[in-house]
Amino acid sequence: MPYQVTLIRGDGTGPELAEAARQCVDATGVSIDWDVQEAGADALKDCGTPLPPATLASIRRTGCALKAPITTPVGTGFRSVNVHLRQEFDLFACVRPCKCYPGVRSRYADPPVDLVIVRENTEDLYAGVEFESGKPETAALIEAVNRASTDKRIKTGPDETGLSIKPISVSGSRRIVRYAFQYARENGRRKVTAVHKANIMKYTDGLFLAVARRVAEDFPDVAFEDRIVDNMCMQLVQKPELYDVLVLPNLYGDIISDVAAGLVGGLGVAPGANVGEHCAVFEATHGSAPKYAGQNKVNPTALILSAVLMLRHLKEHEAADRLEKAVAAVIAEGKDVTYDLKPDRDDPTAVGTREMAAAICRRLDK
């Protein structure tokens, strides 16, 4: 029986990338029945919503989705489709491997960086519990905060102050830290580092750290340490080879995963997975690059590597390994790659999205 997988085409360059990734997965020989669905700006125009009910129903049915990039407006418009999916299906673990591949420009190729970011996906400031300045409820909250604190913590008036609430729970922290340790154990990783700001936010990040320390006791075979988030940023720039699996609350995980992607060549080679108890959505870390839509120009590596993560999730480990090796071989050869993977971005021998995907398929045949 073929696997049932939802393929979300996205918008901007998303449809081109989705097709490239699908071709590469099919070339592995794994039998997949793709249910093609829409989401994002194009779906908003056609269906009146960026996340149509049919797309949600498909994911609920298959329990597994490969999602191409989707545009998220800045400041206005609909909230992030990605955040909505994570909350709708309780995809509590965001997993973002950041690995140096020979042939990709990076100052951190020797020794090569090989990190995994495990980010909590449902709590923290990304819960979206916000209160607009000038609203009565905002004024009431400011008054309550100032009454409850020993000094006047919020010193500005409600007409000029917006508020955002940062929920961090014991249960949410426990399951993400436990996921990070289980991932480390199952994938032969040596160490988990919990990243926090517990020196300042003692009742939120302090809770996260305390839970992480308790969970670490259940995994004596995996080393454990913690780092303050600002120090972690410096450590990653100076000596990333010292780290292995990082587990973080939501906001820090979002920021650090982009820092780590920068170490290995950028978002164009950074895959991602969002995993829950009953569902998983796999997506590239980068955006939809709408200005390049339809130009057959963008690098498909990140979404194809996200498909590698999907194959591993489906327990098709041999196919996943072959596909990752095929991607690595094409990049290392440097011939059939997009412009951003060339030493000179103006290199006229650079190929397009379709041609790079075809080269990966040919390599799989070999």
- Active-site residue identified among 126, 179, 183, 252: 126
- The predicted-structure confidence for 291-307, as pLDDT tens digits, reads as follows 999 999 999 999 999 99
- Active-site residue identified among 11, 205, 254, 336: 254
Question: How far apart (Å, rounded) are the C-alpha atoms in residues 121 and 123?
Answer: 6
- Known active-site residue 159: no
Dihedral of alpha carbons 273, 48, 37, 362, sign: negative
User: Cα-flanking dihedrals φ and ψ of residue 270, to 5°?
Assistant: -110, 105
Please report, as a single letter, which amino acid is at residue 257: S
Q: 226: helix, coil or strand? A: strand
Identify the band that residue 47 occupies on the pLDDT scale cut at 50, 70 and 90: confident
- Active-site residue identified among 46, 230, 315, 325: 230
- The predicted-structure confidence for 313-348, as pLDDT tens digits, reads as follows 999 999 999 999 999 999 999 999 999 999 888 888
Q: Would you list the DSSP string of 30-92?
A: --EEEEEE--SHHHHHHHSSSS-HHHHHHHHHHSEEEE------SSSSSPPHHHHHHHHTT--
- Known active-site residue 336: no
pTM above 0.85, yes or no: yes
Beta strands 64-67; 3-8: pairing state: parallel
In the chain, residues under CATH classification 3.40.718.10 are: 1-91+276-366, 96-127+166-266
- Known active-site residue 325: no
- Active-site residue identified among 67, 197, 297, 342: 197
- Kindly tell me if the per-residue pLDDT of 45 is higher than 90: no
- Known active-site residue 218: no
Across-strand partners of 197? none
Question: How far apart (Å, rounded) are the C-alpha atoms in residues 1 and 32?
Answer: 9
- Of 205, 307, 313, 316, the residue nearest 250 (C-alpha): 205
Domain 96-127+166-266: CATH superfamily, name plus number: Isopropylmalate Dehydrogenase (3.40.718.10)
- The predicted-structure confidence for 142-156, as pLDDT tens digits, reads as follows 888 888 877 778 888
Write the class of the CATH domain 1-91+276-366.
Answer: alpha beta
Provide, rounded to the nearest whole percent, the portion of the chain with pLDDT above 70. 98
Query: Cα–chain-centroid distance for residue 366?
Result: 31
